[in-house]
Amino acid sequence: MRIFSSSNKRGAILVTTLWILSLLTILAIGIGIRVGVDIKLMSFFLNSSKAHYLAGAGLRKTIMLIEQDNDKKVDSINEQWGCGFDFNEEEYLLKEIELGDGIFTVSYKSGKNEAGTDVYIYGASDEEGRLNINKLDDVMLAKLPEFTMEIVDSIMDWRDEDDVERLEGAESDYYGELESPYSCKSAPFSAPEELMLVKGMTEEIYNGIKDIITVYPGDGDGKVNINTATEAVLAVLIGEDLEELPGKIVRYRNGDDEEPGTEDDRIFNNVEAIITQLKAPLASGGLGAGELGRLNELVVNKKCFKVNTNTFRILSRGTVGDGKVRKTVEAVVKRSDAETGILYYYEN
């Protein structure tokens, strides 16, 4: 019969206690790690929600500036909705605006400067400064970068209501025989991305034109606002044979500081003034006879231009936590006498 001394009993109790403490420590560490992960997740979802509402605030602020525009007969980049700047108060209205725990910024890339660096403007962009693919005829469609006659004819077939194929086009018979068949729409495009369904279109070609085309507004006349159209848009309208003319128009608009969306921008107040203003010596060295003739054709004969808009694209970004959490909202809105309605909305 083995007899345990009191010292042996105390030793066993100590060992057991140490084991229990070790297990409790491991359990506590595990719980701490889990709680830490949960806290980080909760913080992320909370900041994500904040960033969402900040982006929404930028959208609403821009819509407010659009609605407060007093002169709706003429629209240009240097208005508050277009450049996000108050020239009287000398302050930005849409650039890195602090709100609560974060900031919102409304901006878009307008092109590149002479150094090849991207140029951003802090405001909404004019959707009617783009080319409406539902309104372009086959001649103008053929001027879009990398467009073949196959793509042009297929777009025309996609839009028209008949089932008669153009020379290089396609109707439902062609699309129905694809690996994943579908029908030819025989109606206007509902979204620019719909072009990817058209025969001959590739992702590379689409990426080259996506920033200069639109389908909004659906009830528009397809005229382009010459006060806001980018050089790339103007190049399509004017044609490759007069490749310097689009740049001359943009430089004239930008004013002496050569920057878009600033106080010295030059504005076309009516269509009739376009040629008159561009004939002046200020128009980047003046225009040649061929350039004036092309402008007269586009302005007077084809009536391609206007000087105002009612449709705007807004890209608003909400940022929380030193830029670690971001939300982006993109919307196309249409201004009317009653209210500004949303035609397109996407959130990233």
pLDDT over 90 (residue 81): yes
Q: What average pLDDT does this structure show over 325-330?
A: 93
Q: What is the pLDDT of residues 333-347, one digit of tens each?
A: 999 888 899 999 999
pTM score, whole prediction? 0.85
Q: What is the pLDDT of residues 195-214, one digit of tens each?
A: 999 999 999 999 999 999 99
Question: Token pair of 57, please?
Answer: 């605030």
Concatenating the DSSP letter of every residue in 189-229 gives -SSGGGGGGSTT--HHHHHHHTTTEE--STT----EETTT-
Position 237 confidence tier, pLDDT thresholds 50, 70, 90: very high
Q: Which residue has the higher pLDDT, 63 or 39?
A: 63
pLDDT over 80 (residue 323): no
pLDDT at 19: 77
Q: What average pLDDT does this structure show over 109-131?
A: 87
Closest CA to 344 of 200, 193, 221, 207: 193
Pairing of strands 305-306, 311-320: unpaired
Report the percent of the chain where pLDDT is more than 70. 91
Pairing of strands 325-334, 311-320: antiparallel
pLDDT over 60 (residue 234): yes
- Residue in the structure block whose two tokens are 């003034």: 273
Q: What is the pLDDT of residues 148-191, one digit of tens each?
A: 999 999 999 999 999 999 999 999 999 999 999 999 999 999 99
Find the range with the poorest average confidence among 120-129, 204-213, 238-247, 280-289: 280-289
pLDDT at 342: 95
Phi, psi of 24 (to 5 degrees): -65, -40
pLDDT at 281: 61
Q: What average pLDDT does this structure show over 64-91?
A: 94
Q: Tell me 3's DSSP state.
A: -
Summarize the chain as % helix, strand, coil (round to 5): 40, 15, 40
Give the three-class secondary structure for 177.
Answer: coil
User: Are the C-beta atoms of residues 228 and 344 closer than 8 Å to each other?
Assistant: no
pLDDT at 285: 61
Find the range with the poorest average confidence among 97-111, 183-197, 222-236, 275-289: 275-289
Other C-beta atoms lying within 10 Å of the C-beta of residue 112: 11
Q: What average pLDDT does this structure show over 212-229?
A: 94
Q: Which residue has the higher pLDDT, 3 or 158?
A: 158
Query: Measured between alpha carbons, how far is 38 from 19 in angstroms, rounded to an integer?
Result: 28
Q: What average pLDDT does this structure show over 4-24?
A: 70
Concatenating the DSSP letter of every residue in 104-141 gives EEE-EEEEE-TTS-EEEESS-EEGGGSEETTT--HHHH
Pick among 1.10.40.60, 1.10.1660.10, 3.40.50.620, 3.20.20.70: CATH of 132-304: 1.10.40.60
Continuous segment of H or E residues that includes residue 344 = strand 341-347
Q: What is the pLDDT of residues 126-146, one digit of tens each?
A: 999 999 999 999 999 999 999
User: Are the C-beta atoms of residues 215 and 332 closer than 8 Å to each other?
Assistant: no
Report the percent of the chain where pLDDT is more than 90. 70
pLDDT at 289: 86
Mean residue pLDDT across the chain: 89
CB proximity list for 267: less than 8 A, separation 6 or greater: 74, 76, 78, 227, 253, 307
pLDDT over 70 (residue 35): no
Q: What is the pLDDT of residues 49-62, one digit of tens each?
A: 899 999 999 999 99
Query: Contacts for 335-338 with beta carbons within 8 Å, 24 or more apart?
Result: 335/66, 335/67, 335/69, 335/72, 335/310, 335/311, 336/310
pLDDT at 78: 95
